[in-house]
Structure 1
Amino acid sequence: MGVFLLGMPLFYRIMEKELIRYLSDFLTPERFRLFEKVLQCRTNYLTVVVENIFNPHNISAVLRSCDCFGIQDIHIIDDNQNYEVNPEIALGAFKWLSIHKYSQGMGNSSQFVLNELKSKKYRIFATVPDHKAVAFSEIDVSKGPIALVFGNEKEGISDSTRELADGLITIPMVGFTESLNISVAAAIMLQHFSSHIRKYLDKSVWELDNDYREQLLLNWMRKTIKKADLIEKAFNKKQK
């Protein structure tokens, strides 16, 4: 399900395949097989939206969880434009993810992002610490792609998100503490939804489409191979 990949002409797809074959000679077979193995488990049937998170450590931790559970596309709404990846917390996860970042320059960022996701048939579920919300485990993963929205640490989700959401979900609690840190909440929900998607849905429903998978493979190779830009220039010369 390559939701965020624009279609490419056949010529460019063929060239991309040839370039992947060429660059594979500059990777160990083990590394190349690892890339293919990880890509087979990647999905964008489930995606994550984080909305104006104050603590950049929390976003970095969410990115790490997304990588761990095979979630490829993450949408970061950062109207204050203060987010930078913390490499010690993300542990390099940002290198392997498709991160889409939005700011106030496009108007109401949250409204823009959620409407875009809705146009791609995502069901929007906003997470809230509210006992009146539906328990996240009650959501049926078979009814269509899911976008999980996590609001900021102080105010939670925005009014725009609350209005556009298809549902409000929560993690039921029985202790004195009424909420979890956003990174912990995200990890719990991502593990649940990703495992249910893989367990109960046919792989053809949740896996990335071939074009998107090849685009990601090529991007990962470029980030891994030393002097990949020079090697790619040599490849392009051979094609002329």
Structure 2
Amino acid sequence: SIRTLVFAKAGRGNAAVEKVAARTVAAGGTVLEVSEKVLAAITRRENPQMVVGVFAQQTVPLKDIRARDGDVWVALDRVRDPGNLGTVIRTIDAVGAKGVILVGDTTDPFSLETVRATMGSIFAVPVARATEQAFLAWRRDFSGLVVGTHLKGAVDYRSVDFSRGPVLLLMGNEQQGLPDSLAESCDRLLRIPQAGRADSLNLAVATGVMLFEIRRGALKLDTTETR
């Protein structure tokens, strides 16, 4: 739901801009025509795009999430970096996963930095927020496979069969990883083998690796069923 539309004077007469402006007014929103200098101040960019929109924040109640076969959800524990969160949301969109559950005190999913890192995927990926206690209560009714990456994980992430039922991928905080309470809620703790000296991967990179492996398993199932 759009609340405010701000556009540069150069956008005047643009059919797409005028269409959105009309929809904004019809929805009871505000339309502002401003200079590029004002747009630069709003967006914090020297060369801003012609149009900026302000939208109502929208989250999904955790209780309304009912995972089905083939669904993939990602739960993130206390993410601190908005760039990481935005990149994860973008990756969730890219692999066709269903959405993200933010557990505990996380960075704002609607902050400027997070939204920018999503590259528009914030509009396509459902976001739910929950306390750790509420998440663990919801997880007890999750009928599929719950996996998490952990430094103590004994199972290679490439050896798991992700092709049956819904999957919940649980990823930990950038500094501390998964706390014991969340790690114990996983059906399997996985590891991503590394060859160098680094002791861990960036959160967004590790989540991307896991999501594409889960997607590969789902595609394998599709191929098998087609045959």
TM range (shorter): 0.5 to 0.7
Task: Give yes or no for contact 1:44–1:72 (8 Å, CA) kept in 2.
Answer: no
Name the residue aligned to 2:105. 79
- In structure 2, relative to structure 1, the CA distance for the partners of 1:161 and 1:136 (3 Å cut) is same
Task: Give the paired residue count.
Answer: 155
Q: Which letter does structure 2 place at the counterpart of 1:100?
A: A
SS of residue matched to 1:100:
strand
Name the residue aligned to 1:169. 190
Deviation at residue 145 of structure 1 after TM alignment: 1.7
Q: Where in structure 2 are there 5+ consecutive unaligned residues? A: 1-68
1:112 is aligned to 2:140: no
Inter-partner Cα distance in structure 1 for 2:88 and 2:220: 23
Inter-partner Cα distance in structure 2 for 1:75 and 1:96: 14
Give the structure with the larger strand fraction. Answer: 2
Inter-partner Cα distance in structure 2 for 1:154 and 1:143: 32
SS of residue matched to 1:119:
coil
Task: Give yes or no for contact 1:118–1:124 (8 Å, CA) kept in 2.
Answer: no
Q: Where in structure 1 are there 5+ consecutive unaligned residues? A: 1-42, 103-108, 205-240
Inter-partner Cα distance in structure 1 for 2:148 and 2:198: 20
Name the residue aligned to 1:152. 173
User: How high is the sequence identity, in percent, across the aligned residues?
Assistant: 25
Deviation at residue 160 of structure 1 after TM alignment: 1.3
Task: Give yes or no for contact 1:56–1:84 (8 Å, CA) kept in 2.
Answer: no
Task: Give yes or no for contact 1:126–1:165 (8 Å, CA) kept in 2.
Answer: yes
* 1:146-225 equivalence runs, <5 A: 146-201=167-222
**TM-score (normalised: structure 1):** 0.58
Inter-partner Cα distance in structure 1 for 2:98 and 2:194: 29
Runs of 4+ residues over 2 Å off in structure 1: 78-85, 109-112, 201-204
- In structure 2, relative to structure 1, the CA distance for the partners of 1:115 and 1:143 (3 Å cut) is farther
Bigger Cα displacement from structure 2, 89-98 vs 77-86:
77-86
Name the residue aligned to 1:121. 143
Give the structure with the larger helix fraction. Answer: 1
Instruction: Give the alignment's Cα RMSD to 1 decimal.
Output: 2.3
1:141-160 superposed Cα distances (whole Å, 9 cap, x missing partner): 13432111111011111221
SS of residue matched to 1:54:
coil
- In structure 2, relative to structure 1, the CA distance for the partners of 1:123 and 1:60 (3 Å cut) is same
1:94 is aligned to 2:122: yes
Deviation at residue 76 of structure 1 after TM alignment: 1.0
Inter-partner Cα distance in structure 2 for 1:66 and 1:82: 17
Inter-partner Cα distance in structure 2 for 1:122 and 1:83: 26
1:69-119 superposed Cα distances (whole Å, 9 cap, x missing partner): 1112211114256453422211010101111112xxxxxx23422442341
1:123-171 superposed Cα distances (whole Å, 9 cap, x missing partner): 21111134x5211111111343211111101111122102211111111
Task: Give yes or no for contact 2:80–2:107 (8 Å, CA) kept in 1.
Answer: no
Q: Pick from 79, 87, 105 the counterpart of residue 53 of structure 1.
A: 79
- Structure scoring higher RCO (CA < 8 A, sep ≥ 6) equals 1
* 1:16-27 equivalence runs, <5 A: none
Q: Which letter does structure 2 place at the counterpart of 1:92?
A: G
Q: Which letter does structure 2 place at the counterpart of 1:50?
A: L
Task: Give yes or no for contact 2:147–2:189 (8 Å, CA) kept in 1.
Answer: yes
Deviation at residue 179 of structure 1 after TM alignment: 1.0
SS of residue matched to 1:193:
helix
Inter-partner Cα distance in structure 2 for 1:114 and 1:74: 15
Inter-partner Cα distance in structure 1 for 2:107 and 2:117: 19
Name the residue aligned to 2:91. 65
Inter-partner Cα distance in structure 2 for 1:44 and 1:77: 23
- Rg comparison, structure with higher value: 2
